[in-house]
Amino acid sequence: MSSTMVDPAQRSGKFAAFHIDLPLLLGLLALLAFGLVILYSATGQSETMMKAQVIRLGIALAVMVGVAQLSPQTIRRWAVALFSVGLLMLVAVLLFGYVGKGAQRWLDLGFMKFQPSEIMKLAVPMAVAWFIASHNLPPRVWHLFIGFLMCAIPTLLIAKQPDLGTSLLIAMSGVFVLFMAGMSWRLISFIAVLVSAFAPVMWYFLMHDYQRQRVLTFLNPETDPLGSGYHIIQSKIAIGSGGVDGKGWLQGTQSQLEFLPERHTDFIFSVLSEEFGLIGVILLLAIYLFIIGRGLIIASKAQDNFSKLVAASFTLTFFVYVFVNIGMVSGLLPVVGVPLPLVSYGGTSMVTLMAAFGVLMSVSTHKRMLANV
């Protein structure tokens, strides 16, 4: 018994020298591998797209390993700076941003187009954690207030682009910090009531027509089967027709015959469900659950509050991505355009996510050295 315990411990020790958390790495690699298998089918066996995705994966893994080399202290020191730069860039986007797909999300840096909201996915929880962790836990009410403010400003700036989905996810990543920091349940209930009261205001004054349409379609997709309800209906048909054991890899008629929209990006989960069935779904959820569990364990074992809060927030935000994406393609949530993390085709968000996992690895692997020092 003890000998079996030693082996992985030793091996993880070796990985720890490179600041790699082995269980998290294995979980991520399993997810990425499974993701590539699904993507091959979802892209219609496009080799060029597979190549592009593999290159992105390489870059993202390199970014993860690179970030893991930084100590949590370093990361903490950079948090405020990153947050400030991100905030400035968001303002810049609104003033001089590049308009694509009807929204102003990109900043043209000359050599590349760049979405500042990606920085804020990392910077907001880091900055809020930095602020909250610089005081005792649980945080006081006015600390929380400032924490909320730090979430609210970038959220509103991003919502203005407009990118409601990302802005809400970023707000949530900040709120997770506050929750994990021990915000009282009374305050949580109070805010919950406040948010529900705010919902009609949002509906009438802040949401765009297309966003309202998405919500309406979500509530009753069959009213508009050929319009905006088409996506969700086709997705549910794909999932439902997959059954328990699926139609087989590359055999999904909904996805291969292109009835399924956005099949290699937002709706890739439907491809998985159709071709691998409930068994494939359970396997994917198990991998996600393992990664999330490992993330929370890393957070709880972290040695300082900043590390704990950042690690927990990143993990929970990752979960929210998973839940929102699966929820939307299976008809539980409105269609908001969130990709399935680390599986959907696409670059920027993958790099951001892997950077966050780099932070988790840093938190996981730097503590012993810190203890030794």
Partner 1 sequence: MLKKRVAMQDIAAETRLFNSRAVVAMLVVCGLFSVILLNMYNLQVRSHQDYQIRSEGNRIKVLPLAPNRGLISDRNGILLAENRPVFSLELVPEQIDDIETTLRRLAQLIAISAEQQQDFLQQVRQQRRFNSIALKERLDEQEVAVISVNLHRFPGVTVEARLSRHYPFGDLFTHALGYIGKINTDDLRRLDEQGRLANYAASREIGKLGLERYYEEQLHGTMGFQEVEVNNRGRVIRVLRSVPARSGKNIRLSLDVGLQLTAQQTLNQSRGAIVAMDPRDGAVLAFYSNPSYDPNLFVHGISSSNYNALLHSPDRPLINRATQGIYPPASTIKPHLALLGLETDTVQPDTKVWDPGYFTLPNSDHRFRDWKRGGHGWVDVYSAVAESCDIYFYDLGIKLGIDRISDYMRQFGFGERTGIDIHEEASANMPSRGWKRARFNQPWYPGDTVPLSIGQSFWTATPVQLALSTAVIVNKGMMPTPHMAAELSSADSSELVDPGLRPAVNVIDEKNWEVVADTMVRTVATLKGTAHPAFKKALYSSAGKTGTAQVVAIAQDAKYNADALAEQHRDNAMYIGYAPADNPTVVFAIAVENTGGGGSVGAPIGRQLLDYYFSAGVNSNE
Distance CA 44, CA 31 (A): 20
CB of 292 to partner 1, least distance (A): 6
* Inter-residue contact 299 to 363 (CB < 8 Å): yes
Q: Would you say 108 or 245 has its CB closer to partner 1?
A: 245
CA dihedral 330, 328, 24, 371 (to 10 degrees): -140
Length of the chain: 373
Q: Would you say 160 or 236 has its CB closer to partner 1?
A: 236
CB of 68 to partner 1, least distance (A): 21
* Inter-residue contact 125 to 193 (CB < 8 Å): no
Q: Is 106 helix (H, G, I), strand (E, B) or coil?
A: strand
CB of 99 to partner 1, least distance (A): 29
CB of 285 to partner 1, least distance (A): 6
Q: Would you say 106 or 269 has its CB closer to partner 1?
A: 269
* Inter-residue contact 156 to 167 (CB < 8 Å): yes
CB of 83 to partner 1, least distance (A): 22
Q: Would you say 108 or 258 has its CB closer to partner 1?
A: 258
CA 43 to chain centre: 22
Distance CA 64, CA 354 (A): 5
Of 274, 275, 301, nearest to 367 (Cα)?
Answer: 301
CB of 300 to partner 1, least distance (A): 5
Q: Is 140 helix (H, G, I), strand (E, B) or coil?
A: coil
Q: Would you say 93 or 172 has its CB closer to partner 1?
A: 172
Q: Would you say 100 or 243 has its CB closer to partner 1?
A: 243
CB of 22 to partner 1, least distance (A): 21
Of 287, 286, 289, 310, nearest to 299 (Cα)?
Answer: 310
Q: Would you say 115 or 217 has its CB closer to partner 1?
A: 217
Q: Would you say 1 or 373 has its CB closer to partner 1?
A: 373
- Interacting residue ranges for partner 1, rule: CB under 8 A: 134-138, 176, 179-182, 234, 236-244, 253-254, 257-259, 273, 277-278, 281-282, 285, 288-289, 292-293, 296, 299-300, 305, 308, 312, 316, 319, 323, 326-327, 330-332
Give long-range contacts, CB 8 A cutoff, 24+ apart: 364-368: 364/21, 364/24, 364/298, 364/301, 364/302, 364/311, 365/15, 365/16, 365/19, 365/20, 365/21, 365/68, 366/19, 366/71, 366/72, 367/301, 367/302, 367/303, 367/307, 368/16
CB of 63 to partner 1, least distance (A): 25
H/E element holding 113?
A: strand 113-114
Rg, the chain, Cα only = 21
